[in-house]
């Protein structure tokens, strides 16, 4: 971790802080620009988040499955993501996502159906069983509220009617874009009380 942080300093100079924050959960730049980030309402974004882990999962699994069987691909992914978590000091947001993905992988191996509600509940139970105070952490609250909205409140928009949409690619894309915008608005509304309390915005 130290060598990688030093390498970023050498390669990027004064801009290294942002890369270190987004790749290795380094808090130096976050502390340096705390006032500006807090006023703009994006303080919680200048960290490695669970979304990073899901993105890495999708990319690596897609690549590994070109060359390897499913189970071996998932094992390789778990090894890589645990290394990534270690390089980030086992940040809670990363650990949460690993538990959720690991639960999905285990259910797949055991050929057991696993709903989104079961996954989010089980991961929350495991996390709070190991570290009960995590329940009061800002990161956990933002993560689980956002995931809950994604699991249970995703709207299905069909602006042009199902029959028309199935045959028109551009209409399908318009529907998807509207869904993404609406989901973003729903997540923003859901986390608004927490961001208002912690960040004043």
pLDDT digits (tens, 9 = 90+) for 43-72: 666 777 777 888 889 899 999 989 989 889
Q: How is residue 1 written in tokens?
A: 């971790």
130 CA to centre of own chain:
21
What's the pLDDT at 19? 83
Per-residue burial over 25-64, b = 16 or more CB atoms within 10 Å of its CB, e = otherwise = bbeebbeebeeebbeeeebbebbbbbebbeebbeebbeeb
In the chain, what percentage of residues exceed pLDDT 90? 8
Q: What is the pTM of this model?
A: 0.71
What rounded mean pLDDT belongs to the chain?
Answer: 82
What's the pLDDT at 152? 83
Segment 93-104 shows an average pLDDT of 86
What's the pLDDT at 135? 85
Tell me the HSE value of 191 on the side-chain side, using a 13 A CA sphere: 25
What's the pLDDT at 167? 58
Helices 138-152 and 116-130: crossing angle in degrees, nearest 10, is 170
What letter would DSSP give residue 47?
S
Residue 106's CB is within 10 A of a number of other CB atoms, namely: 12
Q: How confident is the model at residue 139 (pLDDT cuts 50, 70, 90)?
A: confident
The residue among 159 and 87 whose pLDDT is bigger is: 87
Q: How confident is the model at residue 156 (pLDDT cuts 50, 70, 90)?
A: low
Contact between 80 and 60 (Cβ < 8 Å): yes
Indicate if the pLDDT at residue 126 is higher than 60: yes
Distance CA 31, CA 16 (A): 14
């Amino acid at each position: 971790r130290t060598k990688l942080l030093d390498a970023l300093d050498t390669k990027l100079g004064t801009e290294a802080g942002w890369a270190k924050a987004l790749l290795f959960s380094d808090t130096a730049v976050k502390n340096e620009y705390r006032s500006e980030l807090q006023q703009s309402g994006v303080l919680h974004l200048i960290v490695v988040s669970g979304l990073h882990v899901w993105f890495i999962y999708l990319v690596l699994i897609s690549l590994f499955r070109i060359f390897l069987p499913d189970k071996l691909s998932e094992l390789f992914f778990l090894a890589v993501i645990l290394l990534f978590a270690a390089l980030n000091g086992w940040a809670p947001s990363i650990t949460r996502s690993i538990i959720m993905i690991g639960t999905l992988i285990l259910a797949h191996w055991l050929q057991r159906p696993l709903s989104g509600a079961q996954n989010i509940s089980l991961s929350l139970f495991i996390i709070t069983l190991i570290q009960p105070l995590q329940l009061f952490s800002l990161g956990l609250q933002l993560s689980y509220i956002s995931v809950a909205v994604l699991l249970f409140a995703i709207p299905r928009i069909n602006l042009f009617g199902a029959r028309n949409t199935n045959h028109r690619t551009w209409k399908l894309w318009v529907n998807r874009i509207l869904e993404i915008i609406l989901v973003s608005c729903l997540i923003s509304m859901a986390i608004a009380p927490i961001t208002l309390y912690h960040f004043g915005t």
